[in-house]
Structure 1
Amino acid sequence: MTVAALAEIADRVRGLFPCPVAVCAEGIGASEAELWPVEAEAMRAAVPRRRAEFAAGRAVARRAIAELGLPPVAIPMQPDRSPGWPAGVAGSITHTDVLALAAVARAEVIAAIGIDAEPDEPLPSGVAEMVCRPEERAWCATMPDPARAERLIFVAKEAAYKCQYPLSRAGLEFDALSIEAAADGALVARFTLPAGPFATGDRLSGRAARCGGLVIAAFALPHRP
C-alpha cells in the first residue's frame, strides 16, 4: 500500500471522531526493528507474520502518541492481550493483512477509543449467524449487498468492544451488543447485557467509513470528570 493511500486512510479515520484524535497508519512489515525489549519479549514465540503485525501496530501507536506531544514509550501486551497504554493516554490498534492503524487521544479528553478495520468484502458464509443478532440480520437484508452490510456489523462490534473494554474489562460475546447503522455512517452500539459500568440499554456512539478497500469503524467515549 502506498504512502499516499495510508495517509488517506489515516485522514479518513481521523474524521470519524467528534474531537481531535491522533491517527497513524503503516504497512505491515515496515517496522520489525522498532519493537522495544518488553514488546519483543511478548513476541518471542510468535510466528513472523504475527510479529510483523505487532511491530507495525506498536510503531504507529508510538507515532500517534508523539503527535500528542508525548515522549515515545513501550506499549507492552497486557495479560489479557490488550495494549498497555501509558498513563494519560487512551488508544486503540487494529490490523488488516496489509496495514496497521492506531488512534490515540489524551485521556482527559477521551476516556476510551475503539477502532477496527476489515476488507470491504462480504462476510464469509456462516459467520453472520455467529456475529449478527436477529434485528441486525433483518437490517442487513434490506441493504443492496447484505453480506457487505454484515461485514460492517462485524467491524462495528469489534470497534465497540475495544472501546468499552478498558472500562468494563468484560469479554463480551457478539450478542451483547446490538448495532444500528445509519446511511450517513453514524453507528450506535447498544448493550443488550450489563458489562461493568454499562447497564443494559446503554449506548456507545461511533461512525463508519469505507476507504482504500476497507470498511472501518470508530467509537469514542468522552472523558467525564
Structure 2
Amino acid sequence: MSILAKAVGGLFPDGVGVAVMAIGAASDAWPDEAGAMANAVPHRRREFAAGRAAARAAMTAAGLMPAAIPMAADRAPVWPAGVVGSITHAADVALAVAAPQAVARGLGLDMEPDAPLPGDVLSEICDGDECAWIAGQVQPLRWARVIFVAKEAAFKCQYPASATIFGFDGMSVQVDTAHNALVARFTRAIPPFAKGDALQGRFALTGGQIVAGFCRPGARAVN
C-alpha cells in the first residue's frame, strides 16, 4: 500500500475501502460513465477515468462488486444502490473511498497541495472563530488550507443526505492538531441536519498533500 493510501485509510473506520490511481494510468471510463466527458479536454477525461477506476478499486477493497459510477446532473457521482463513496483529485493522482451503507451513510474525501491558502480568499472560507484560531497558528495560511479541505470533504459527506449546495458559511470547522481530528458543525439548518449538528472527521499532512476525510457511520460501522 502506498504511503498516501495508508494515510487516507487512517482517516476512516474499518470497512471503508481506499484506493489511489495515478492520473493517466487508468483505462477509459466505462460506457455508462463516458458521456459525462464527451466535451471535456483530454486531461479532464484522464482525471475522470482515474477517479472512476480508483472508486471501483475502493469498492473492491470494501468487499463490493465494482460497477459503473455515472455523473448526475448536479455533477455528483451516482454510486450503485447500497454503496456510498467519495472521489477527489490533486496533483497527478485520484483518490477514492467506498463502503456499504451498513458501514457508512456518507463519506467525504478531499485533497489539496500542502501550501498556504491565498490570504485574499480567507474571508470567503472562514468565519470569525475560524479566522481567530488560524491567526494563532505558527503557519496560519497553511492551517487555513486545512480548514478549506475539511469543509470540502464535510460537504461531500453530507450531500447524499441533504442534496443541498451551500457556501463555506454553512459549516464551521474545529481542528484538533494534537489528534489530527476535525469537527464540522452546521451553522444553520440544512435538512435533514439541524443547526449545530456535527460531522466527525480526520486529516493528514502527507507527501506534500493535505487530505481530509469525514464519515457518517452506518448501522454496522466498525471502529
Give TM-score, length-normalised by structure 1.
0.94
Distance in 2 between the 1:180 and 1:58 partners? 31
Could you say which residue in structure 2 is the equivalent of 1:64? 58
Work out whether 1:20 is the aligned partner of 2:15: yes
Decide which of 138, 145, 148 is 1:154's aligned counterpart: 148
The answer to which of 209-218 and 19-28 deviates more is 19-28
Decide which of 135, 140, 144 is 2:138's aligned counterpart: 144
Distance in 2 between the 1:18 and 1:102 partners? 14
Alpha carbons 2:108, 2:157 under 8 Å: kept:
yes
Could you say which residue in structure 2 is the equivalent of 1:11? 6
1:1-225 matches, cutoff 5 A: 7-31=2-26, 33-183=27-177, 184-224=179-219
Distance in 2 between the 1:50 and 1:125 partners? 28
Identity %: 51
Alpha carbons 1:109, 1:223 under 8 Å: kept:
yes
Shift in Å, 1:12: 0.8
Shift in Å, 1:26: 1.2
The answer to which of 96-105 and 125-134 deviates more is 125-134
User: Number of aligned pairs?
Assistant: 219
Distance in 2 between the 1:152 and 1:85 partners? 27
Unmatched runs of 5 consecutive residues or more in structure 1: none
Shift in Å, 1:8: 1.0
Distance in 1 between the 2:42 and 2:119 partners? 29
Q: List per-residue Cα deviations over 1:65-104 (Å, max 9, x = no partner).
A: 1122322211000111000000111100000021100011
Opposite residue 187 of structure 1, the aligned amino acid is: L
Q: List per-residue Cα deviations over 1:35-68 (Å, max 9, x = no partner).
A: 1112111100001111111110000001111122
Alpha carbons 1:14, 1:20 under 8 Å: kept:
no
Distance in 1 between the 2:181 and 2:152 partners? 16
Shift in Å, 1:224: 4.2
Distance in 1 between the 2:176 and 2:20 partners? 26
Distance in 2 between the 1:58 and 1:46 partners? 15
Alpha carbons 2:15, 2:62 under 8 Å: kept:
no
